[in-house]
Amino acid sequence: MADHLPLHYALSEALIVIAAIYAVARTWPTNRWFAVGLAAAGVAALVAIVRIAGGMTGDIVILHEFLSRYGALFGLGCMGGAMLGWKAWLPPLLGVVAAGLGMTFPAATPLLLAGLILGGAALVYRRTMDQKFLAAGSFAFLLLAGLTSMPFRAEHPALSWHIFHTLVAVWYGLVATFVTETLHSRSQGSSS
């Protein structure tokens, strides 16, 4: 992908930012570390908008790629730790370990992402009282976003970009609707 991107690339990034703000706002009152995990990819999308709209190249491209790859690992680690709920320090620890593994073994990043997504879906399934498959499927939808856009990357990079980012925005909406309800109902049950 070229350093300088046409302005239309910022449109699907804006969808992610809007969806991330919605998801973080819905999740923050119930589980702050889960919300921090959701915010990670939203920050990467915001940096992408600044990069694209400003026609910027150089270090901001590196920052965007770093936040996209390792921010996603950190965020998914935080969300997994938040769903485990054992200790308050577990979400950031798992986030840092996931990002650190990705930095140490960059070739393993796709497998780490897939493992964290599927592990997160399993945790959502385990924690959900009703609509288990819907909630877990909502979390796992992120994996579908990557797989759906992959065939277009080489020959149609703009289409791949927009498919992936639009589906990530849909994932935020699904998580905010179905997984946040799971977190909310668990926090209500534990407070009574």
Helices and strands counted in the chain (H then E):
8, 0
* Per-residue pLDDT reduced to its tens digit, 5-62: 788 889 999 999 999 999 999 999 989 999 999 999 899 999 999 999 988 888 998 9
- Whole-Å CA distances, 153 to 11, 51, 78, 93, 164: 18, 20, 29, 33, 10
The model's confidence at residue 153, banded by pLDDT at 50, 70 and 90, is confident
The model's confidence at residue 118, banded by pLDDT at 50, 70 and 90, is very high
Supply the pLDDT for residue 3.
60
Residue 74 carries which side chain, given as an amino acid letter? F
Supply the pLDDT for residue 190.
41
Average pLDDT over residues 100-125: 95
pTM across the whole model: 0.88
Supply the pLDDT for residue 85.
82
Neighbours of 107 (CB within 10 A): 7
Q: Is 99 exposed, middle or buried (0-12, 13-18, 19+ CB in 10 A)?
A: buried
